[in-house]
Amino acid sequence: MSMVVVVTENVPPRLRGRLAIWLLQVRAGVYVGEVSRRVREMIWQQCTELCDEGNIVMAWATNTESGFDFQTVGKNRRLPVDMDGLRLVSFFPEAGENAL
Amino acid sequence: MADTPYLPLKPLMMKDRVSMIFLQYGQIDVKDNAFVLIQENEVRTHIPVGSIACIMLEPGTRVSHAAVKLAAEVGTLLVWVGEAGVRVYSSGQPGGARSDRLLYQAKLALDDELRLKVVRKMYEIRFGEAAPAKRSVEQLRGIEGARVRKTYELLAKKYGVEWKRRNYDTDNWDLSDVPNRCMSAATACLYGITEAAVLAAGYAPAIGFIHWGKPLSFVYDIADVFKFDTVVPIAFKIAAKNPHNPDREVRLACRDAFRAQNTLAKIIPMIEEILAAGEIQPPEMPPESVPPAIPPAESIGEAGHRSK
């Protein structure tokens, strides 16, 4: 069993309701829970299949050096990057935008 | 707008950190209080600077003043390294943040009898047996050198790597053979976290016991205690695969080994244990001296961190 956090953006209401079956919605689109690996994978499958045009990130506690790992589905300007085994997130500006 | 209160940053203990991160090609700066790497096309990556033991800056990085200040406040060592982690230059934290530790270390290193005790302890921990009696530091170093060469040969054989000798040319990095390149990349990782630990504990990296006369003599002394259990087997294992990108593979494997063996939590206690072999106490504050006018802030970090 390990702690899991799911953050959803722009996902259909049927997935929001579905996630609330196993996890606690602490803020709009932010779900927290303590689940086993099997349950986590089952939840992730639901996420990927019901995601539609939205995007989701799931993070969970595990035995990596940082103590957690995460995965994403859907399009988001924040993308995971691997820095020699340490996973971080890069923020990409929108195409054509000279963002600050 | 209401005045926001000033909240000082607190450095974390070494054991609560991730070992290292290598950064290349980009501007390292502070944006909205966060430590960021800004790459081409404005791509930004946040670096969790306070949760890392040391940040290895590779060629192609530029660091801003604000970023260096932030790294210093959270007690994270910045190490400027050359291609593939071969050390070029290092800074970030000056050594010897604690005069009692520094004087203790210097006293142990200056007195031949005490130094021998410390060296014998290092020998004992590395080889799992007491050092032969009545040997000088010089003789012990000879024995150690022979054992180390033998260990290299045995490990090379075990992993099926052709090994001539430890050799590299920092000016012509690409000319080194693959096993030596892997070995350099692996030891660079270990030296980085060891230096961070030595500084965090409040000791001076230059005051060594077996090694002498280099800016990182003490770092090499301490790293040698861990080297053959952690990074040397990794270097041979990776070299045997002859991968396309040996440096990256080595770093991944080092990260795994440091985590599996809990290396970050072990280094500082090991330093204390080795120095304790001298059987002297760190100096007390002389009665006529004065403590700082403004007492230092309470710290949740390591003794050597300049906590606010």
Judging contacts by C-beta atoms under 8 Å, the chain B residues touching residue A89 are: 45-46
Output the average pLDDT for chain A. Answer: 92
Taking residues B193-209, what's their average pLDDT?
Answer: 94
pLDDT of B92 over the 90 cut: no
**Cβ(A55)–Cβ(A9) under 8 Å?**
yes
Q: What interface predicted TM-score (ipTM) does this complex get? A: 0.81
- Of the candidates A63, A93, A100, the beta carbon closest to that of B41 is on A93
| B13, B62, B83, B172, B263 from B57: Cα distances, Å | 22, 9, 10, 20, 22
| B7, B74, B122, B189, B215 from B258: Cα distances, Å | 32, 21, 20, 10, 24
Judging contacts by C-beta atoms under 8 Å, the chain B residues touching residue A91 are: 43-46
Confidence of residue B170 (pLDDT cuts 50, 70, 90): low
Task: Say which residue, B301 or B171, is predicted with more confidence.
Answer: B301
A65 to B19: CB separation less than 8 angstroms, yes or no: yes
pLDDT of B129 over the 90 cut: no
Give me the pLDDT at residue A100, please: 45
Output the average pLDDT for chain B. Answer: 89
pLDDT of A97 over the 60 cut: no
- pLDDT tens-digit series, residues A51-83: 999 999 999 999 999 999 999 999 999 999 999
Judging contacts by C-beta atoms under 8 Å, the chain B residues touching residue A92 are: 41, 43
C-alpha span between B294 and B34 (Å, rounded): 29
Taking residues B218-234, what's their average pLDDT?
Answer: 95
Residue of B12, B18, B22, B45 to mutate, testing the A interface (most A Cβ within 10 Å of its Cβ): B45
C-alpha span between B23 and B10 (Å, rounded): 23
Give me the pLDDT at residue B131, please: 85
Rounded to the nearest angstrom, the minimum Cα separation between B23 and chain A is: 8
Largest interatomic CA distance in chain A = 44
pLDDT of B83 over the 90 cut: no
